[in-house]
A and B are shown apart, each in its own frame.
Chain A
Amino acid sequence: MSSELRSIVNIAYRDIARFWRYKYWLAGQVAMNLADILIFGLIFNGVVNKDLIPDYVRFVTPGILCLSIFISSFSIGREVGVELRREVTQYLLTLPVRREGLIIGRLLGGAARGLVYQFGFLVFASIILSPPSLEGWVYVLATSSTLALTMSSVSISLSTVTRDFNLQATVRSLTYYILFFVSNIFYPQKVIAARLGPLAPVVDYSPLTMATNIYRWAFRYDASINPWGNFAGLGAWSLVIVALAYKLYIRNLLRD
């Protein structure tokens, strides 16, 4: 392994290892995601019009897979924010690692956290829905990896925009609302599209709609979905976001 690659792996490994330091946070997040499936899903099963969505728990489960990736991948952003505030970044810049390697390592570390965290939820989704076929698993793994890298990049780049703690937390929440509520995770695409009128295509091309579509197809909730088209769209989003995050992180890292 080249020394540059080893540095990237070391940095990513450090971020994964730090993930386990927040045991209580992790336990709280897992409980909340499960509550989202069980409580939100079960209660809404009693509230939702069955003509539109026959079983809300099954409907919302693929979206919760996206949510689990979002929460865990975003934890890296919180740490990057704290590092900036405490000027730990100065220490990171003195490490014998190229800046490109440092940033790639951080992005991959955040993505790995997302994948580790999501594993249990994939098992859960296989039980609530139906286990995917071999091809379905390939799509699920590719989607989860791409989404985790995208979310980790979004989170890191947003956290470097401001050093204000309160503002960082607010930016994180606002991003959550924009990404999750303007997608087909909680309601069918046509319902949200009707609300947005001429802005309806925003929902179709949202990275979370595309990822949810792939999960719905893979876990056999909706066989009519074209997984390849959605994955191509998600991949395009990922390329743009990772490139932007890379630029933004390196710029803010070097800013006084």
Chain B
Amino acid sequence: MPIPHGFKAVLRVVEWDLMKLKRQKAFIAMRTAWFIIQSLVFGYAISRIARPDIGVDYYKFYLLGLYTALLYSASIARAYIIADEFDDGIIDYHLSLPLKRSVLAAGRVLGGAVSTLIFTAPMMVFILFLTGGLDPISFLISIASAFTFSIGVVSFVVIIVMKLKSTDTTDIFFGTIDAILVRLSSVFYPLPIIKALNIPAYYYSALFNPLTHFADFLRALVLPEYFLLELSPAQSMFYILGLGIGLLVVAIELFERKLEAGGVK
């Protein structure tokens, strides 16, 4: 069966994004060093001071949260790349190509998500190995859910960068939102412990935070003994899927209807 032209065009845009990954050796090396420090130094030390009776091995809990934070940060880092492209006029060049806007938007989002996934896959394998969850089924489900999650985050990034049109504001905005969303989630602390604090605003922020859903989905998948779940894995997966598709549609819509050379009008 021949591949539809639109799909082939999306693949070309994805390929263009993947080619850029090759040129990011220093970036990849530094992110890997960052991951090693977080997993083998900070994670280890912080789990040594955790109580042994909180209902889960805190080190394993932390590692799966760390992967979530890493995938999220790597997806957010697309913002810096796209903002740079705006500055260098590459987005203007893309808009002049004989491609449909929807193809360009879908290609950029999917390309960003695939790049992020390729970049974080070795870390996922390492974490699944450390947590004892490295079986083919868990691995494939983890990859699929990570891809869906990353599509949502990259779509969000594309939407915001197109609105901001400034490297400076992008840096400030994403630097802040990156840190805030990780804090307001169950990435590093179990949701029932957040609930026990009796700060409803904090608890509900964490409950609706996509990072919480992705991290707890991974935990439910990999740690059978993990019983600190406030959400069912199916609920979390539907939430992540809905968010990914919803934000992708908004990003495509924005490209098609609002984007002009130089940013969003």
Contacts between the two chains (Cβ within 8 Å), count: 117
- Contact check, B171 vs A191: say whether CB atoms are below 8 A apart: no
Q: Which residues of B contact A134 (CB under 8 A)?
A: none
Q: Which residues of B contact A43 (CB under 8 A)?
A: 189, 193-194, 197
Chain B minimum-CB-distance residue to A44: B189
In this complex, which of B37, B46, B49 has the most chain A Cβ atoms within 10 angstroms of its Cβ?
Answer: B49
Known A82-B168, A167-B27; contact A47-B193, beta-carbon cutoff 8 A: yes
Residue total for B at the interface (Cβ-Cβ under 8 A): 44
- Contact check, A32 vs B30: say whether CB atoms are below 8 A apart: no
Within 8 Å of chain B (Cβ to Cβ): is A224?
no
- Contact check, B41 vs A182: say whether CB atoms are below 8 A apart: yes
Chain A minimum-CB-distance residue to B58: A47
- Contact check, B46 vs A49: say whether CB atoms are below 8 A apart: no
Interface of B is mostly: helix
| Per-residue A-contact encoding for B77-92, CB less than 8 Å = 1, 0 else | 1001101100100000
Within 8 Å of chain B (Cβ to Cβ): is A255?
no
Ranked 6 nearest A-B pairs via Cβ: A28-B176, A166-B80, A181-B42, A25-B172, A187-B45, A43-B189
List residues of A whose CB falls within 8 A of some B CB: 22, 24-25, 28-29, 31-32, 35-36, 39-40, 42-44, 46-50, 52-53, 78, 82, 85, 162, 164-167, 169-171, 173-174, 177-178, 181-182, 186-188, 191-192, 194-196
List residues of B whose CB falls within 8 A of some A CB: 24, 26-27, 30-31, 33-34, 37-38, 40-42, 44-46, 48-52, 54, 58, 73, 77, 80-81, 83-84, 87, 167-168, 171-172, 175-176, 179-180, 183, 189, 193-194, 196-197, 202
Known: A48-B51, A182-B37; 18 extra A-B contacts, CB below 8 A, are A22-B172, A31-B180, A32-B179, A43-B193, A44-B189, A78-B171, A162-B26, A166-B24, A166-B77, A166-B80, A169-B77, A169-B80, A170-B31, A170-B34, A174-B34, A187-B49, A192-B41, A195-B48
